[in-house]
Structure formats: structure tokens, C-alpha cells
Amino acid sequence: MAVQLPSDAPGGYVWRVGESLDESVLKLASTGYRPPLGGGGELGRAVLTFEAVGPGSVTVRLSYGPPDDPLDVTREFSFVVSVT
């Protein structure tokens, strides 16, 4: 499962998992960045790919901010994943 969120990676901001995942249910498989298609100050897209590992339910909490300070959060996004 891939999640795409607005991102200014060239500006130094990143999306990160805000709390540890229950990796017996879901794990972060990879992260990437898709640059904007047009110009004019548009944001690109962070792509976070998750892999289902086993049955269960987990809340994924993501935070957005500078990579060197996990407490400096400018945006948050969360969702629930149920694996059967």
C-alpha cells in the first residue's frame, strides 16, 4: 500500500512515522519523492510504501517537519489499516 502526501523535500522537510508501527501487522517498506509536475512553487509528493505482514489492525501516525528535529511538526496525518 502506498501513501502519497504533499512534500517539500528539496526544502528539507520530510514525512516520518510518528510512532513505532506494530511490525507484526504492517511495516514501512520504502520511502521516495516525486517532484511536482509543473512549476510555480508547487509541492512534490512524498511516497511512503507499507507492506502488510500479518493479520491485525494498526493506526499509522505520520508527522511532517525537518528531519533533524522530530519534535518540530508542521503537519500530521493518520489512518487505520486492517489486515485480514
* Dihedral (CA of 50, 52, 53, 55) sign: positive
Alpha-carbon distance of 41 to 5, in angstroms, equals 16
Domain, as residue range, for 56: 2-83
| Averaged pLDDT for residues 76-84 | 95
Q: Residue 38 in contact with residue 24, Cβ under 8 Å?
A: no
pLDDT in tens, 3-20: 999 998 888 899 999 777
Global pTM reads 0.87
Partners of 14 in the beta sheet? 65
Q: How many residues does the chain have?
A: 84
- 21 pLDDT band, cuts 50/70/90, is confident
Structural domain count of the chain: 1
Q: What is the CATH number of the domain that holds 57?
A: 2.60.40.2020
Which residue has better confidence, 71 or 2?
A: 2
Alpha-carbon distance of 72 to 22, in angstroms, equals 24
